[in-house]
Chain A
Amino acid sequence: MQGDLLALRNLFADAPVPPQPWMVQRLWLIPALPMVASGIISLLKQPRRRLAAGLAIGSLTFSLLLSLFALGNMLDELDAFLGFQHTFHVSFSDPVPREVVNFTWIQVGTANVDLGWVLDPLSAVMLVMVSFVGLLIFIYSIGYMEHDENFTRFFCFMSLFAGAMLGVVIANSVLLLFMCWELVGLTSYLLIGYWYRKPAAAAAAKKAFLTTRVGDVLFLLGMVWLFSQSGTLLFYNHGAGSIEPAALAGLLSQHAALGLTAAGAIGLLIFAGAAGKSGQFPLHVWLPDAMEGPTPVSALIHAATMVAAGVYLIARVYPLMAAGALMQPGALTGGTTTALTVVTWVGAFTAVFAALIAVAQNDIKRILAYSTVSQLGYMMAGLGMGGVAVGMFHLITHAFFKALLFLGAGSVIHGCHDEQDIRRLGGLRADMPLTFVTYAIGMLALCGFPLVFSGFWSKDGILDAALHWNVAKAPFYMLLFGALLTAFYMTRQVGYVFFGYWRGGKPARESPAVMTAPLAILAFFAMALGLIGTPAWPWFRGFLEGRTVGFDLNGFKEPDLAALMGASALVVFLGLGLGAWLYGGNAPKPEEPDVLERATPTVWGWLRDRLYVDEIYGATVIAFYAWWARVADWLDRRLWGGVVAGVGWAFGLWARLNRLLDIYWVDGGFDKGCEELAAAGGLLARVQNGRVQTYLRILALAVVVLALMLIWSSRS
């Protein structure tokens, strides 16, 4: 059988290879366009607002069109690919069609530093999502940022971000990915600190940059390790890439410390990078603070795309993470490895942990930020337990409804004169009807309201995978609890903001159409996207895993599925009900304590203070550095300072002694000597008569003498 297969492959290897699709050759245009736009915008002056926004939006529109084109291309190829497999009854080592374009960037000795891009279902889906959500947020920003004086700078950074993020998506080389990854981090830093005059924003930008750097250093280590072991930086290279079976076999045969294989260890290092970017538990602290940036930034970077880049990274290197446990080489599901188990536990823990904190926050954006951290935990857990499709589906749906929520929050903030404290808002249902309706849709999607909202299906996929996970059942219960919390805190937020009565100062007003139109579009997708991932028609999963799926109601008949859906719906209703009961009718006044705070002030205090993670860091890592700095300072001041002072004092004493000697004994003789020396110096100074030619002459003479010496010495 194996021989037949090989013969068949060889047969087709001889056949004229169809040229790569047009789109694959031009895939680089997708990130390049926004980057070029950013470059041009950076040269514009402040008043050129329309041009700047037009350039950014125009370039991203083109990128979106190209991305859609690439997705269509991929769909065609998938059909052809499956048709081929079906006709000839073969299966390829790669379960999905994949087109790569690689080239050598630098050649160092025998090692090639290769860059390249890849188009496969994963990147195609992600490209469309990033450019589409990005485009909507760009349009929204025109309204949101209209009064900002640095409008052009904003669009310059946003455009750069969009380009870099699209670069991360298409990268087929871990180095290219890393470069775009760092660019994304840079733009995140720039945009968090966009209002750099606010000290909080500047501090948050620094915090975000430094915290993600911790993960990135580990990522870099993983990258270097991967390069040194597999000898290539490319992910896919027609069988010679670093995460293709041949290289993985090599990585698996090596053992690192603690019983890990090299593949597992590298996977964990890369996961550290992903955890930094995606705000997973120990490194999540920067994300809530990042809400100091403008709200479109929060929506685009810190909800929809950049933070999801970590999840995307894990999905991209999934074969590496899952190496050794795969049913089939190159498959994108199944198997549990140490690396994936770690991913799962971290994800599940983060999901619950962040949801808990979100319950007790009062800043509208901060609640959403913790919600994002929590949902990213879901995605990680989904990746760890259910494979690429499960995690990515939640990523895509989450991108839409969380962007919607952030933009809705932005609309609220915009309409309520920059008020972000939910206790000072209220009753906006009537004042901002459009915002309210879309926000409610986003909130229900996030809570996972059954059947019509996308969040339900994607979260259900994760819970389903958790239920069938064969390592432990705890993540399932954790995630279920997380769902309850999610429904609860979102209901609390909506109750505060949109129900009750207006507690702020100046009355609120509805935002302009340029802001509400993207909200409406996003709301539509927050509902409709669920349709492509229901158990009856798991098209999305099929697309990512290289299968075609038809509509089949029997999908619901899988064991436990109905019970699971029921349980999850129940949990959601419970959360919604609880929230509505506590906050629905009449939220407390700003000065009054929260309902829950009255019940359990201690726990509430912990949650409000974010479980003291920042304080723990302050007390440990930062305190250690501060202590170490103080020690160094003390050493400088006391120890070395003392030594230096002592030496100085000793020399001072010695100097006094000398001075006496000098005055009464040496001076006489010395003066005489000096005079003699001065006379001799005058004699010598005649040589230096200031005439260039004299110097040149001496130089030439010296050359002659040197040449003579050389010749003479070689003679003897």
Chain B
Amino acid sequence: MIGKPIFEMLDQIFVLLQHWLVSFLPAVLRPAAGVVLGVVAIVCLYPALFALTTVLERKGLGRIQNRIGPNRVGWLGILQPVADAIKSLTKEDIVPKSADGVVHFLAPLVLVVAVFMGYAVLPMGRNMVLVDMDAGLLFFYAMSASTELSVFMAGWSSRNKYSLLGAMRAVAQMISYEVPLLMSSVAVVMIAGSLSLTKIVEAQNHYTWGLPHWYIFTPWGLAGFLMYAIAATAETNRSPFDLPEGESELVAGYHTEYSGFKFALFFLGEYLAMFSISGLGTTLFLGGWSAPIAVLGWVPSWIWFFSKVMVSIVVFIWMRGTLPRLRQDQLMNFAWKFVLPMTLLNLMVAALWRFLGGGWERWVFCSAIVALAYVGLGWAGMRQGHFGPRRYRYAE
């Protein structure tokens, strides 16, 4: 292969760039400067991705809903986010008179900061991780748990019943779905034997017959990924779990009373959370930055990571355009009576997988258990009316 060094360089181009830039500084400052560079890169990159995604989402939704979508600013409306940014920066920042000023001000900041923190441990390519932490996954979840508080702060400080209701719904939903989210990741941790996200990716970066060892291609991994995807959708308040911001009931949920730049921050925070949770899902189940087939290994690793994330984002958008919103009781029943039991069972299946050795039995057993549980739980839930249409009880 002639092009091998070139591809390796392409693969590591950002790492090399960082090293090159840092090498201008005195040795004492180098580690700190490296981190600062990484932070700057993340802080610049993801908002750009956010801008791109908003256009993508609006155009995509437009297509799904048989309309054109934004098409005025720039070529095919591609500059729409720039116009939006200018608008939100120049708009008047309205704070309600009765609002709790300090908390009202702090809420969007806390959200964005906490969300950004999560990116510190995501490996976005080979050697491309800001902090390779031993307890990376725990850190990520600790940070994502902190966002809940900011949502509450926003809703409570607005002194608006819609805001408060939206915030309480959002927090309840996030807490409910955080449990299955964590549980489905624990299965991965059990198999990979590490909380470090880089090690988890490394554990999946093997190939048999040119096919990858991604965890999604195992029975427990597939079930875990499905549960993770459901919980992630709910955790980011995306449709069909977007009750906290249901426009028809709550105007806009907890950020009803925000305008201008603060609103933009909330918007940004939500999309950033979506990116980071997609990135984590990619890392845990889809092999992170590893190539989907061995022969494509020469393509730079970060391309794979970002393509996988973007595919997840497209799926998010697609679901938003397709699925109607759930009801609150359906949401809670679904979390506690289907997703959580399934993830708990999945833990056991993963343990079984781990201890059944390398033979074919583990495929048969684990698939059978997962399939049986899925069918059984779903059937029982449907039968008892947990997931279906609501049965009204009228007063006698």
- Whether B8 is near chain A, meaning CB under 8 Å from some CB there, is no
List chain A residues, Cβ under 8 A from B361: 26, 29
In the complex, what distance in Å separates the CA atom of A25 from the CA atom of B357?
Answer: 11
Interface string of B342-363 (1 = CB under 8 A from A): 0000000000000000010100
Q: Which of A19-35 contact B (CB under 8 A)?
A: 25-26, 29
In the bound assembly, the distance between CA atoms of A29 and B359 in angstroms comes to 13
Size of interface on B: residues with Cβ below 8 Å to A: 2
Inter-chain CA distance A123–B359, complex, in Å, is 24
- Chain B residues within an 8 Å CB radius of A25: 359
The CA of A26 and the CA of B358, in the complex, are separated in Å by: 12
Nearest Cβ in chain B — how far from A51, in angstroms? 13
Assembled-state Cα–Cα distance A501/B359 (Å)? 62
Instruction: Kindly list chain A residues whose C-beta atoms are within 8 Å of the C-beta of B359.
Output: 25-26
**CA of A29 to CA of B357, assembled, Å:** 14
| Alpha-carbon separation in the docked complex, A26 to B359 (Å) | 10
Tell me the smallest distance from the CB of A261 to a CB of chain B, in Å.
41
Residues of B within 8 A of A29 (CB): 361
CB distance from B34 to the nearest CB of A (A): 47
B195 CB to nearest A CB, Å: 27
Q: Shortest beta-carbon distance, A58 to chain B, in Å?
A: 13
Least CB distance, B268 to chain A, in whole angstroms? 46
Contacts of A26 in B (CB 8 A): 359, 361
CB distance from A21 to the nearest CB of B (A): 13
Q: How far is the CA of A29 from the CA of B356 in the complex (A)?
A: 12
Once the chains are docked, how many angstroms separate the CA of A137 from the CA of B211? 47
Closest to A36 in B: B365
CA A69 to CA B326, docked complex, whole Å: 54
Which residue of chain B lies nearest to A28 when distances are taken between CB atoms in the complex? B361
Inter-chain CA distance A26–B361, complex, in Å, is: 9
Q: How far is the CA of A25 from the CA of B359 in the complex (A)?
A: 10
In the complex the two chains form, what is the Cα distance from A26 to B362 in whole Å?
12
Min CB–CB distance A115 → chain B (angstroms): 14
Minimum Cβ distance to chain B for residue A34 (Å)? 16
Q: Mark B181-208, 1 if CB is under 8 A from A, else 0.
A: 0000000000000000000000000000
- Docked pose: A29 CA to B365 CA in angstroms: 12
Nearest chain A CB to B337 CB, angstrom units: 18
Q: How far is the CB of B201 from chain A (nearest CB, A)?
A: 32
- Which residues 109-168 of B sit at the A interface, judged by CB distance below 8 A? none
Nearest CB of chain B from residue A496's CB, rounded to whole Å:
51
Please provide the chain A residues from 56 to 110 with a CB less than 8 Å away from any CB of chain B in the complex: none
Closest to B376 in A: A43
Query: Nearest Cβ distance between residue A530 and chain B, in whole angstroms?
Result: 39
CA distance A25 to B361 in the complex (A): 11
B residues 357-391 with Cβ under 8 Å of A?
359, 361
**Shortest Cβ gap from A219 to chain B (Å):** 31
In the bound complex, how far is the Cα of B361 from the Cα of A29, in angstroms?
10
Give B72 Cβ to nearest chain A Cβ, in Å.
62
The minimal Cβ–Cβ distance linking A348 to chain B, given in whole angstroms, is 47
A508 and B300 CA atoms in complex are apart in Å by: 83
Q: Closest A residue to B372 by CB, please name it.
A: A40
Nearest CB on B from A659, distance (A): 62
Instruction: Identify the closest chain B residue to A43 (Cβ).
Output: B376
| Closest-CB distance, A66 to chain B (whole angstroms) | 12
Question: How close is A102's CB to chain B, nearest CB, in angstroms?
Answer: 15
Q: How far is the CB of A326 from chain B (nearest CB, A)?
A: 38
CB B365 to nearest CB in A, in angstroms, measures 9
What 1/0 flags go to A423-446 for Cβ under 8 Å of B?
A: 000000000000000000000000
Nearest neighbor of B365 in chain A, beta-carbon distance: A36
**Distance A29 CA – B362 CA, assembled complex (angstroms):** 12
A134–chain B nearest beta-carbon distance, Å? 23
Chain A nearest CB from B384 CB (Å) reads 15
Q: How many whole Å from A39's CB to the nearest CB in chain B?
A: 12
CB distance from B306 to the nearest CB of A (A): 44
For this complex, 4 residue pairs linking A to B, each with C-beta atoms less than 8 Å apart, are: A25-B359, A26-B359, A26-B361, A29-B361
Per CB-CB distance, the 4 closest pairs between chain A and chain B, nearest first, are: A26-B361, A25-B359, A29-B361, A26-B359
Q: Which residues of A contact B (CB under 8 A)?
A: 25-26, 29
